[in-house]
Structure 1
Amino acid sequence: MATETSVVSASHQFESAVFNSPVDQVWAHIRNLSFHILCPNWVSSVSWSEGDSGKVGATVHMTYTDGTQWTVNILEISDIKRTIVYELIHADPAAHSFSYVNTIRVFKETLTNKTFLIWETDFSNDATANTVMDCKYKKIEALSAMANALNN
């Protein structure tokens, strides 16, 4: 059986999806981090707790259905580029990586009025392969839930 080694390397992980919904509808949910609406089996609540809601510098508290709690800081929001960037600043239980920055970009697919979404995560160099793969599979699950929520 192979043993895990602690090779230090910063990691980047991304997933993408196409939704049968107009870009403005998808962006409205993503801009507000409305994961509790888009992925109710994954996130039970989202609340903007510090700073102005929907503004750079604001703090957002997310509670997952397994009891995990995250606090994230909004680093960037662009309505022109339909992009939001947020950084994990506190996790209970503790996260398995010192730095965890997410970028979600939403694009209009012009031929059919669908939406293309890219969800990227950049980890610090202490993230293990297990941490990166866990992120991958959770994103796949979340994107599938989003597709169901947006298509209903």
Structure 2
Amino acid sequence: MSGKSFSFIGEVVESAVIKAPLSFVWHFIKLQEFDKFWSAISKAEHVKGTSEETDIVRWTFKDGNVIEVKQDEHSNLEHFITFSVINAEPELSYSSVVNTIRLWAVTSGEFANTTFIRWSTRFSSDADLGVIEDAKYKRQDALKDLSKAAEKMLAEEKK
């Protein structure tokens, strides 16, 4: 993946309401913490020897695939993270992909004290429909796993 600019046409957006306060969910939204909730990842680790300004994390998936993700943006105030895949083994069939995960606290109504989460993934124009459909299911699974982890943390806190 070079420094070229790509037009994005394929996008996957998945969202959920997680039955835990935002602080419990936000706790997991760090690239190096994804293995703490996403059951598809066996290991998440910082990549050594990269620049001090760039946060790169290697995710090793249980199926043997490995990707390195670079944090592009992170805001503790606005509760979002944006990251892109910069390396993959095996190599990706498309040029680029950018993910943004954003959280909002639900403050009133029947869902008060829960978290709304939105995970959007934008693919370069050379990503085929199979890639986009696969991403949709993987994001759904990840959000289910995140919900379980945050709700478990909340239950343990209440003990």
TM-score tier, shorter chain, comes to 0.7 to 0.9
C-alpha RMSD of the superposition: 1.7
Distance 2:63 2:15 in 1: 24
Correspondence list, 1:94-109, <5 A: 94-109=91-106
Amino acid at match of 1:126: D
Unpaired segments ≥5 residues, structure 1 = 1-7
TM-score (normalizing by structure 2): 0.82
Distance 1:138 1:118 in 2: 14
Q: State the SS of the aligned residue for 2:26.
A: helix
Correspondence list, 1:113-132, <5 A: 113-132=113-132
TM-score (normalizing by structure 1): 0.86
Range with greater deviation from structure 2 (142-151 or 85-94): 142-151
Determine the structure 2 residue equivalent to 1:12. Answer: 11
Correspondence list, 1:6-85, <5 A: 10-39=9-38, 41-49=39-47, 50-51=50-51, 57-85=54-82
Sequence identity of aligned pairs in percent?
A: 31
Deviations along 1:36-65, one digit per CA (max 9) or x if unpaired, are 1112x211111122455xxx6211111111
Distance 2:23 2:94 in 1: 33
Give 1 or 2: higher helix fraction. Answer: 2
Deviations along 1:92-125, one digit per CA (max 9) or x if unpaired, are 0111221010000011011211011100001000
Amino acid at match of 1:76: E
Are the counterparts in 1 of residues 25 and 146 from structure 2 also a CA contact under 8 Å? Answer: no
